Structure 1
Amino acid sequence: MTPGTSGDGPGHVTLRQILAYDDEGMLRLLLAPAGQDLAVHGLIVGDEGPARPHEGRIVLATGLAPDLRDASAVVREAARRGAAAVVLRESPATPLPDDAMAAAGECGIALLARADWADWGDTVALLRSATSYAAAGRDDIGAPDPGGGLAALAASTARSCRGSITVEDTQFRVLAHSATGPGADGVRRSTILGGRVPEQRVAELRRSGLLRALWTSQDVIHRPADGDSPERLVVAVRNHGEMLGSLWAAADGQGLSPDATRALRRAAVLAVPHLLRHRLDESGTARREAQALRGLLHGTGDRRTHLWSLGIAPGTPCAVVVAVRDSTGGPGADRALDALAAQAAATRPTGRILREQHRIAVLLPVRDEGDPREVLALARELDGPSAGVPDAVTVRIGAGRTVASGLDASLSYASALEVVRALRDREARGCDEQPVRYAGPDEVGPTIDALRLLDAARPVWESGDGPVHELIRADLAAGGDLVRSLAAYLGTGGDIPAAARRLLLHPNTLRYRIRRARERFGLDLDDPDTRLVLAVAVRLTGAF
């Protein structure tokens, strides 16, 4: 279907319907030459091959270079294949090219920009959820009165079944339920009071095989009465095969009606748009909180609004713990951070967790602003799970300084990152017998100060010249053995045997190298200023 085709028939939704569910402003409509009521028939992520027609789909231009230099070509190609719209990434540093806008106008294709704070995974989730929701709400599947909601659906289904109805999501959380009669069993009462199915009940359903049957079955499952447990019916709520949740009907002091199975099956169809809306709202909340936390940690946007979005009072003392993995690694690289995030969520329910590319950050409200032990304890707790993941890469964990208010969380975040940098530096120089994977600013304070001094000294060093500069340039070009030898010599306070052990050399070999540095470059290693400049130079080269 071409981009200008109307969206009145079955089998599609319109661009207008999809954008109506973007409460967070993830997508910005730049141009819609054919209007917003054009038909949308799905998504295309990137370029799925030259022979693949796009047939009214939204194309996510994921493969473009950051400078968007090929954006206009992507827009024209998507239009040629019949796409309905193209989504480009929008960034403050890289405005959308004018030629891309012109190409969209000429080709009659809609153009949208993705917010910089979101990623392509967020965009796919939003578009798929919004499309499914809009499609499920069409009259052709008999969607319920939108004003009634899940509670009204549960109540009407309970009357048809002559039992009690519970609507749950895939996490066994109760989304809605009918009134509970005097004959309700204990499991139903505890489920409704707790807002979710009790863990022991979930475990029992797994052991019995009922949950497996529920996740694989397309029809209503019957479970006969057993002791104090009344007769039950359960059916999965699915959208094109995707599991959204389940409906449970329990006999409530009387037998279920003969028509209960048909009523529950029909209710599962009517529940689809409501459960999609729930999932969309939940993912929107998660995106909003992630955006607020990112802004708070990076010091962008309105900090008070960010705190309000996170539900943290401005006067609450906070600290940030970061876990940073090495940038290289195998399959265990991301699993290590996943394990840490799960550990933090389980042990610190008041914390707010942000997952970024090579790190996670935990914003932790603390009780005592002057006591760093609580924050350091979390860093220590996170060290265990990261080391226990098979094939995991190295993860270093830094606890930032506690600040008086979450408004200053960016200061604690910066402090935590400095700790991680100090841990990496100390390990590279072999300062500790065993590598230290977690610390707070007090534990590595001198290293942090040294790194700050080195940062300040770098411009001075790079603009200078002299014997030390000549030595560094010449030896690094030849492999750097002399520079590494001098680094070990200076790092051990001139202790030749200790430096040789660190380098795995014979002491006489190291003595020869030191003598060569004196003779070839005219360095007076007994002069304190020369030693200071040389120590700074070898640290700046990173040749420890």
Structure 2
Amino acid sequence: MTSRTPTPTPSESAVTLREILAFDDSATLRTVLVPAGLDVGVRGVAVGDEGAAQPFDGCLVLVVGVPAASAEAAGPVRAAAGRGASGVVLRDTQGAAVAPEVLAAAEESGIALLTRAEWADWADTAALLRSALACARAGVDEGAPGITAGGAESLTALAGAVAEYTGGSITIEDTRFRVLAHSATGPEADGLRRSTILGGRVPQWRVAELRRSGMLRVLWTSRDVIHRAADADGPERLIIAVRSGPEVLGSIWAAADGRALSPHAAEALRRAAEVAAPLLVRHRLHESGAARRRELALRGLLHGDGDARTHAWSLGLSPDAACAVVVVERHGAGPAVGDRTLDVLALHAVSYRPSVQVLRDGERLLALLPVGAGQERDALRLARELAMLAPSLPGGVPVLAGAGPVAATALGVQTSCEEAALIVRVLRERAARDDGAGPGRYADAAALGPSLDVARVLDSVRPVWEAGDGPVHELVRADLASGGELVRTLAAYLDASGDVARAAARLVVHPNTLRYRLRRARERFGVDLEDPDTRLLITLAVRLTG
């Protein structure tokens, strides 16, 4: 977080820590220590690295640097307490225990100590805390009856309350025009409202129409109620954007269904937008938090980090379920185009079967596939489908897809993931050595034969090669430094099983040129290609150095 968080003014009312934690239904925050109790007052949110002259009177301070498990966090805790903070929030790290020095600092200073879940980020945490404060304050503020945080603790309750005070039918939508809540639909509701509620979102044709007419631009830039007169397509509507500071969170729509809207409808919508803001933030945090927790669990399961059984249950997957992993990487494409291709393939993989779970891991796509009896080749089928689909997409680029073996239980999918990634690597190496025949773009272990074992052997001997010395090492180092012509010649010669004519044709040189280079290797570096051990070492060196 780089923006400065304003310290609250004395006129801003305090909210208890208990009220803030009650707002956190996504479990973003964990209470570690509260020396003054949960009823300690909180008046704002501040960032711990703000200037030393900035007071923290009554604030919860976000310590964005060191984690709670580090003893170094004790310093910022004491500093925040010295500047009047009521509590601090530190970053959790994979469930590691809070350092004893940090606990002692909080207890001695009398300051509340909380940690932020690893799956959340500081922007989410700040939004959560600010929304909790706003929601709690709105609950005691004066306003339209029923349209308060206290009177509308959910979006559905809010939609019902707003419908009562506007005399219209209400929908509350996010910025993607998904319907998050709506009031009861009367018999005279127009067709657009019915289709929007039944479909769970505004129809695409309607969104396109709003965009063409300029209504969306007006909605997202206006800070007041927008009036849309009745026409042949529907009744009168009032719309207002819901904001948290400069950020648009969604919108509230009031439609006159069979009767005129109340004269006070616009004022009721303005009040509703204020109350809806923290509720929409909470909805967004809950949605993004669930997605991040799922991603964290899937990443941990595939890479063997943390407790595999817990990760499996978090994903709704039985730890005893047989699974396989498919790894997909783009092949020969720029990052932007390749990323779009992987995004579409991710959607396709999920539609392949509802139980498939997908993770974007940097420039790779990982798909976890539960495998039932008789479905042992499903991973290979999915790999083939994705590899064949990618080039046919608009702007699509080729990909390489590897299908890992079936793991007997979900707890063993790390091995399947590692082998699938190795398969992709072997496919890529084959493509680099290919002479025009065109290597496969998808495979499983059976399709690659001994190539996978060779790759594992090369990984094992790499440290030995890198620590070694001798004529072959000297040849490879010297030649690669000057362009690698001799190494490429040796590679072609060995791949052709010593057939000079075939190796020369592959290099597009005269056979005498190739013989001259081989003689130079012997005379300059003392490398004897008649010796089988030397040939083996050169073969390994060529493979290891690419």
- With the shorter chain as reference, the TM-score category is 0.7 to 0.9
Question: How many angstroms apart in 2 are the aligned matches of 1:108 and 1:39?
Answer: 14
| Partner in structure 1 of residue 44 of structure 2 | 41
* Partners of 1:173 and 1:196 within 8 A in 2: yes
* Structure 2 unpaired stretches of 5+: 1-6
* Partners of 2:252 and 2:273 within 8 A in 1: yes
- 2:367 is paired with a residue whose SS is strand
- Equivalence map 1:384-395=2 (5 Å): 388=396
Q: Which amino acid aligns with 2:216?
A: L
* Partners of 2:298 and 2:311 within 8 A in 1: yes
Relative to structure 1, the CA distance from residue 169 to residue 468 in structure 2 (aligned partners, 3 Å threshold; closer, same or farther) is same
| Partner in structure 1 of residue 430 of structure 2 | 426
1:61 to 60, 64, 76: 64
| Partner in structure 1 of residue 272 of structure 2 | 267
* Partners of 2:61 and 2:89 within 8 A in 1: yes
Does 2:306 align with 1:297? no
* Partners of 2:35 and 2:112 within 8 A in 1: yes
2:377 to 370, 373, 384: 370
* Partners of 1:317 and 1:369 within 8 A in 2: no
Relative to structure 1, the CA distance from residue 489 to residue 114 in structure 2 (aligned partners, 3 Å threshold; closer, same or farther) is farther
State the Cα distance separating 1:377 from its structure 2 match.
0.6
1:178 to 171, 183, 193: 183
- Equivalence map 1:395-544=2 (5 Å): 396-403=400-407, 406-429=410-433, 439-458=443-462, 468=472, 482-496=486-500, 499=503, 507-519=511-523, 522-540=526-544, 542=545, 544=546
* Partners of 2:358 and 2:368 within 8 A in 1: yes
| Partner in structure 1 of residue 3 of structure 2 | none
Which digits, 9 at most, give the CA deviation of each residue in 1:244-288, with x for residues without a partner? 222211122222232322222222223223222211221221122
Please tell me the root mean square deviation across aligned C-alpha atoms, in Å: 4.4
Relative to structure 1, the CA distance from residue 25 to residue 169 in structure 2 (aligned partners, 3 Å threshold; closer, same or farther) is closer
Relative to structure 1, the CA distance from residue 104 to residue 153 in structure 2 (aligned partners, 3 Å threshold; closer, same or farther) is closer
- Equivalence map 1:220-235=2 (5 Å): 220-235=225-240
Q: Which amino acid aligns with 2:339?
A: L
* Partners of 2:337 and 2:395 within 8 A in 1: no
| Partner in structure 2 of residue 310 of structure 1 | 315
Q: Which amino acid aligns with 2:206?
A: R
Relative to structure 1, the CA distance from residue 69 to residue 271 in structure 2 (aligned partners, 3 Å threshold; closer, same or farther) is closer
Q: Which amino acid aligns with 2:141?
A: D
Relative to structure 1, the CA distance from residue 279 to residue 409 in structure 2 (aligned partners, 3 Å threshold; closer, same or farther) is same
Relative to structure 1, the CA distance from residue 475 to residue 384 in structure 2 (aligned partners, 3 Å threshold; closer, same or farther) is same
Relative to structure 1, the CA distance from residue 341 to residue 352 in structure 2 (aligned partners, 3 Å threshold; closer, same or farther) is farther
- Equivalence map 1:249-260=2 (5 Å): 249-260=254-265
Relative to structure 1, the CA distance from residue 408 to residue 24 in structure 2 (aligned partners, 3 Å threshold; closer, same or farther) is farther
Relative to structure 1, the CA distance from residue 257 to residue 24 in structure 2 (aligned partners, 3 Å threshold; closer, same or farther) is closer
TM-score by length of 2: 0.78
Question: How many angstroms apart in 2 are the aligned matches of 1:103 and 1:500?
Answer: 74
* Partners of 2:165 and 2:264 within 8 A in 1: yes
Relative to structure 1, the CA distance from residue 486 to residue 66 in structure 2 (aligned partners, 3 Å threshold; closer, same or farther) is farther
Question: How many angstroms apart in 1 are the aligned matches of 2:163 and 2:320?
Answer: 47
| Partner in structure 2 of residue 140 of structure 1 | 141
* Partners of 1:86 and 1:109 within 8 A in 2: no
Relative to structure 1, the CA distance from residue 386 to residue 24 in structure 2 (aligned partners, 3 Å threshold; closer, same or farther) is farther
State the Cα distance separating 1:189 from its structure 2 match.
1.3
Question: How many angstroms apart in 2 are the aligned matches of 1:18 and 1:382?
Answer: 47
Which digits, 9 at most, give the CA deviation of each residue in 1:339-370, with x for residues without a partner? 52244225634332223344332324568333
* Partners of 2:383 and 2:442 within 8 A in 1: no
* Partners of 2:489 and 2:507 within 8 A in 1: yes
* Structure 1 unpaired stretches of 5+: none
**Percent of residue pairs identical:** 52
* Partners of 1:60 and 1:87 within 8 A in 2: yes
State the Cα distance separating 1:127 from its structure 2 match.
3.2
Which digits, 9 at most, give the CA deviation of each residue in 1:98-157, with x for residues without a partner? 666666667776665555x536xx342233234323323322375333675332322232
State the Cα distance separating 1:451 from its structure 2 match.
0.4
| Partner in structure 1 of residue 347 of structure 2 | 345
Question: How many angstroms apart in 2 are the aligned matches of 1:444 and 1:43?
Answer: 57
Does 2:243 align with 1:238? yes
Q: Which amino acid aligns with 1:44?
A: V
| Partner in structure 2 of residue 284 of structure 1 | 289
| Partner in structure 1 of residue 119 of structure 2 | 118
* Partners of 1:53 and 1:82 within 8 A in 2: no
Q: Which amino acid aligns with 1:277?
A: R
Question: How many angstroms apart in 2 are the aligned matches of 1:305 and 1:33?
Answer: 32
Question: How many angstroms apart in 2 are the aligned matches of 1:359 and 1:534?
Answer: 32
1:204 to 204, 209, 230: 209
Q: Which amino acid aligns with 1:275?
A: L
TM-score by length of 1: 0.78
- 1:417 is paired with a residue whose SS is helix
Q: Which amino acid aligns with 2:131?
A: S
Relative to structure 1, the CA distance from residue 113 to residue 518 in structure 2 (aligned partners, 3 Å threshold; closer, same or farther) is farther
Question: How many angstroms apart in 2 are the aligned matches of 1:158 and 1:263?
Answer: 9
Relative to structure 1, the CA distance from residue 97 to residue 292 in structure 2 (aligned partners, 3 Å threshold; closer, same or farther) is closer
Q: Which amino acid aligns with 1:133?
A: A
Question: How many angstroms apart in 1 are the aligned matches of 2:102 and 2:320?
Answer: 47
Q: Which amino acid aligns with 2:377?
A: G
